[in-house]
Amino acid sequence: MTFLSLVQYTLLPFMFLWLGVCVRNDLRSREVPVWMTVIPLAVAGLIGIVFGRWSSACLVAMLILLSDLVSLRFGFALLGTVVVVILDPTSVFLNLTIFAIWLLWDRGAIGGADAKILITLLLVWGSAWLMVWVALSGGLQGLVAWWRKQREIPYTVAILLGSIGFWLANLF
């Protein structure tokens, strides 16, 4: 077992505890407090740098700064993502996934808390495969919501369940 794997396994209970608290807040008030997503995102950026995911951490920082631009935001974000992908071709899928999540948030398809939680998990775990598990959980949650005739679903539940699936798949 490598040092990085050991650190990731050590972080696992804390990450799931944090996700559980986010889900609880989302289920109660349909909102996750900003501090509960921004602080972990900043820490995840540092963890990403320590784990050698400097390009992903830089991409996230750039996307956050660009989020305040009124115009040309998409063009600069796309250009920055292309540059990061060229500079670090080993992290192509991770960086494109981070860009896609930012784009979904920018276009209003997902909430800001969901986007920050997903990007935090991607920075810490360093695998875009996490999104496959989150998407499967979200699809299942969507089917249940459709059957129950619910209009809105708290997507943090799918993020938590997808993260559990991702880690169970990695363990076995």
- 34 token code pair: 């900003």
State the pLDDT at residue 34: 93
DSSP assigned state of 94: H
State the pLDDT at residue 71: 79
Query: Are the CB atoms for 121 and 139 separated by under 8 Å?
Result: no
Query: Are the CB atoms for 22 and 92 separated by under 8 Å?
Result: no
- pTM, two decimals, is 0.92
pLDDT, tens digit, 9 for 90 and up, residues 123-169: 999 999 999 999 999 999 999 989 998 888 899 999 999 999 999 99
- Give the start-to-end residue ranges of the domains of the chain: 3-171
Query: Are the CB atoms for 101 and 117 separated by under 8 Å?
Result: no
State the pLDDT at residue 68: 82
The CA angle 4-82-72, to the nearest 5 degrees, is: 120
Long-range contacts of range 72-80, CB-CB < 8 Å, 24 or more positions apart? 73/106, 74/103, 74/106, 77/102, 77/103, 77/106
pLDDT, tens digit, 9 for 90 and up, residues 11-68: 899 999 999 999 999 999 999 999 999 999 999 999 999 999 999 999 999 999 988 8
The yes-or-no verdict on residue 99 having pLDDT over 80 is yes
Distance in angstroms (rounded) separating the CA atoms of residues 134 and 141: 10
State the pLDDT at residue 118: 98
